[in-house]
Structure formats: C-alpha cells, structure tokens
Amino acid sequence: MLVNKILKVVLLLLGASYIILQGFALEQEGDIVSAAAFVLLTWLYLGWTKHKSKLFSLFLVVFTIAQLLSLLGWYREELREGHIDYLYYLANILSIISYALLIVKMCIYLKLKTVFSQLTVPIIILFVLDIFCVTLISSTTESAFTYYEYALEFTYNAVVMILLSVALINYMYRNNYKSMLFLLGSIFIVFSEIIQLAYYYILSDDANLGYIYSSFLVVAFIFYYLQSQHKVSEPIPIYTDNPLDV
C-alpha cells in the first residue's frame, strides 16, 4: 500500500511538471516526463488494481508504447527532405489502436439491439455531429500535412470523436458512476486533442494553449484511472445488461 501511495504522489508531481513544461514550450522535456508518467501509470494499474480489465490494460500498454516512440523521435538523426517519418506514423497508429481498444471496451457487452432501440435519436444526432466535427477539425490543418499524413490525422480525429460518442451512449445506457467518470475522461481527451492541433498547426505562438491541452490530458487520465478502480454497483435501468468489468 505504501508503494501504491508513493506512485500516486509521484504521478501527480509528474503530471504537474508536464503541464508546466508544455506551458513553457519545453516539448522535449515534456515528452520525457510524459513517457515516464505513463510508464508509472501502467505499472500502478497492472500492479495494484484488484479488478483489472484486460482491454483497459492493453489500452494503457499500447498508449504508453506510443508515447515512448514519440520520445525516441527527439534522439534520432534529422530526417532528410522527402524521407518518411516512420516513428510519426507508428506512434499515431498505436494511439489510434489504443483509443479503439477503449471503444471496444465499452461496446463489447452492450446489447446493441437494445441500445439502438432505446437511443435511436441520440445515436443519429451523434453520428451527424461526428461527421461535421471531424471534417471541420481536420480541414483546419489540411495544408500542414501531406496526403498520407492528412489521412492518418483524419482517422485519428474520427476515432477520438467516436470514443466520445460511444462514451456518451454508454453513460446514457448504463447510467452509473463508472460510466460517468469514463465519459468525463473522454470529454477531456477530445478537448486536449483539439487544442493540441490548434497549438501545433494553427496558433503555435500562443503558449497558453500548451498549458490548456496538457492540463486536459492529465485530467482525462485521472478520470480514466478513477473509473478503472470502480465496479458498477449502483442501480441501472432495467433495459441494460448485467454490469461486467470489461
């Protein structure tokens, strides 16, 4: 228990350090702290969580690997013009996979027939909003990417928006504390990703955006970790399935 508490304190300190470093545009140092924090978070979850979820464990492992690969980008030789940045593609693909694992985590035990029958209108509205938001967000950075980079970025944005939509549907469907925490984490993830795009490709001279997107990312993973420590215990609507820890 002592090691558990120490790790949590260290993680909070690393989170605060990451926010400060990103706010001062010290991106390399921020990536070092971020990678260390995710390694510790994964260790904390795998080593001290009583009821572990296989899919959430995979999410943390894959996302952490993506962060480590992004960090390696600072220590390689500078790419020559026209050369493909394989680390960029691999890190982003792994991030997409990690978010997809969260989507599967929520969907796998949902009774889809019941969900669509009970929540038809919200699902249609969310579907339309997702298309609009992904198209709008991606179009703002289209000129900054090559064709393949833009395709990857578009896919990344689409998966993140789907994550938020599924988290909202999951909350409306299950209506419990665990799903609420998951929804809050997903909301902060989306805000973090959108602001990060603006920071790197639109308003790169605005240091405040560095504070904001890094703060949102830290808060998002706090919510994700908190929800991972809870099992569904509250009463849930009669049309839902049995609560299972996926």
In this prediction, residue 200 carries a pLDDT of: 85
What b/e readout covers 151-187, taking b as 16+ CB neighbours within 10 angstroms? ebbbebbbbbbbbbbbbbbbbbbbebebbbbbbbbbb
Predicted confidence (pLDDT) per residue in 190-213, tens digit:
999 999 988 888 776 677 899 999
Which residues have CB under 8 Å from 50's CB, separation 6+?
none
Q: How confident is the model at residue 227 (pLDDT cuts 50, 70, 90)?
A: very high
Average pLDDT over residues 5-12: 95
Average pLDDT over residues 56-81: 92
In this prediction, residue 232 carries a pLDDT of: 53
Average pLDDT over residues 66-72: 96
Q: How confident is the model at residue 240 (pLDDT cuts 50, 70, 90)?
A: very low
Q: Is the pLDDT of residue 93 over 50?
A: yes
Q: Is the pLDDT of residue 242 over 60?
A: no
What is the rounded average pLDDT for all residues in the chain?
90
Q: What whole-number percentage of the chain has pLDDT above 90? A: 69
User: CA-to-CA distance for 23 and 36, rounded, in angstroms?
Assistant: 18
Helix residue spans in the chain (DSSP H): 2-23, 27-48, 54-72, 86-107, 112-118, 120-139, 147-174, 177-201, 208-228
User: CA-to-CA distance for 36 and 11, rounded, in angstroms?
Assistant: 9
User: CA-to-CA distance for 229 and 169, rounded, in angstroms?
Assistant: 21
In this prediction, residue 2 carries a pLDDT of: 87
User: CA-to-CA distance for 74 and 64, rounded, in angstroms?
Assistant: 16
Q: Length of the chain in residues, anyone?
A: 246
Which residues have CB under 8 Å from 82's CB, separation 6+?
none
Q: How confident is the model at residue 62 (pLDDT cuts 50, 70, 90)?
A: very high
Which residues have CB under 8 Å from 243's CB, separation 6+?
174, 176, 231, 232, 233, 236
| Residue 81 Cα distances to 3, 78, 85, angstroms | 47, 9, 10
Predicted confidence (pLDDT) per residue in 14-26, tens digit:
999 999 999 998 9
Prediction pTM value: 0.91
Q: Is the pLDDT of residue 130 over 50?
A: yes
